[in-house]
Amino acid sequence: MNIEEFYKLLQKKNYGSLFLKEPLKKYTTWRVGGPADLLYRPTKVGECADVLQLAWQHQIPVTILGVGSNVLVADQGLKGLVVLTEGFRQIVWQENLVTVGSGVLLSHLSRLAAEKGLAGLEFAAGIPGSLGGAVVMNAGAYGDSLEQVIVSVKSLDLEGKPKTYEKAELALGYRDSIFKRRKELIVEIKLALQRGNIAEIKAQMARCLNLRREKQPLEWPNAGSVFKNSGQGAGRLIEGVGAKGWRVGDAQISEKHANFIVNLGEAKASEIMTLIKEVQKAVKEKYNVDLETEVVLWGFVDNRR
């Protein structure tokens, strides 16, 4: 079945919001990326499970997109179905536990938790990702990460079957989880927070936000840290090869933070990719270090350096 036929099948069943040839640059913080063959924005888990099952039966490839703050989508776009998770946005509080839809913004949740005097998400102030993306990446900052507060995760596998994972099964590590290797759609996350002092929680969040504003080029579209920090900070290595300010088209290694690549206007994914490869090559030559990308690369035929 081709994608138009699949689209018509979903339409006939009255399934959710569907968009053919939808430009993904609208859904990534870098503001780059070609079209998705078909974008689907579910709000109901049951319906989403049916759609995944149909995609599986008809061999339509599936990609899962949170708020696109950690992905580089190729200019050619993506084949198949892209499922956007932003419609999963329920939040249920139960004392110090909170159960959250995967489309909820991490920074929004951390603000709500602060208002309730619940500590544990202060580090997340200013991280622009969704809860689902934050689980996949085990998002973290300033020595803390989501790992410290996760209790369990509910997902749908690519056949649409529901699964539940306890924390110990998630293989959480530095910007890593089992979902990096096992493609499933996270729909719900349960977190355990701790009672704290509202003023102290807010003060800690303000400190995190100030550090970000001081150090990060937030005035331009970006995707946060491009490379993982190995033993030595990636930013320091990139600065060490004199790459700050390198520019290809409208893509530039930030002058403010060497581990950020900013979009100065109309950057293409290919230009960002060229910079990524040039930096990797220079760092390898000077320091014999292989810089690994933290951002997830989608739709590139050749991801080799």
Measured distance CA(167)–CA(79) in Å, rounded: 32
Q: Please identify which residue in the block is written with the tokens 């100030």.
A: 210
What does the alpha-carbon distance between residue 205 and residue 207 come to, in Å, rounded to a whole number? Answer: 5
Residues 178-217 that bind ligand FAD (CB under 6 A): 179, 185-186, 216
Residue 132 contacts ligand FAD per CB under 6 A: yes
The C-alpha angle with vertex 248 and arms to 77 and 64, in degrees rounded to 5, equals: 25
According to the binding rule CB under 6 A, does residue 29 interact with ligand FAD?
Answer: yes
Q: What is the DSSP letter of 176?
A: B
Scanning residues 69 to 98, which ones bind ligand FAD (CB under 6 A)? Answer: 69-71, 85
Helix (H) or strand (E) holding 199, with range, is helix 198-215
Of the candidates 145, 175, 177, 271, the residue annotated as catalytic is: 175
Check residue 235 for interaction with ligand FAD (CB under 6 A).
no
Q: Kindly give the pairing relationship between strand 150-156 and strand 185-192.
A: antiparallel
Site for ligand FAD in 263-282 (CB under 6 A): none
Per CB under 6 A, contacts with ligand FAD among 93-122 are 102
175 labelled catalytic: yes
* CA dist., res. 295 & res. 110, Å (int): 23
Tell the smallest beta-carbon distance from residue 95 to ligand FAD (Å): 25
Q: Which of 204, 222, 280, 293 binds ligand FAD (CB under 6 A)?
A: 222
**DSSP state, 138?**
T
Stretch that binds ligand FAD, among 42-50, 133-141, 196-204, 285-293 (CB under 6 A): 133-141
Q: Is the four-CA dihedral 219, 224, 227, 228 of positive or negative sign?
A: positive
Q: List interacting residues with ligand FAD (CB under 6 A).
A: 29, 64-71, 85, 102, 127-130, 132-134, 136-137, 139-141, 179, 185-186, 216, 218, 222-224, 296
Catalytically active residues, by annotation = 175, 225, 294
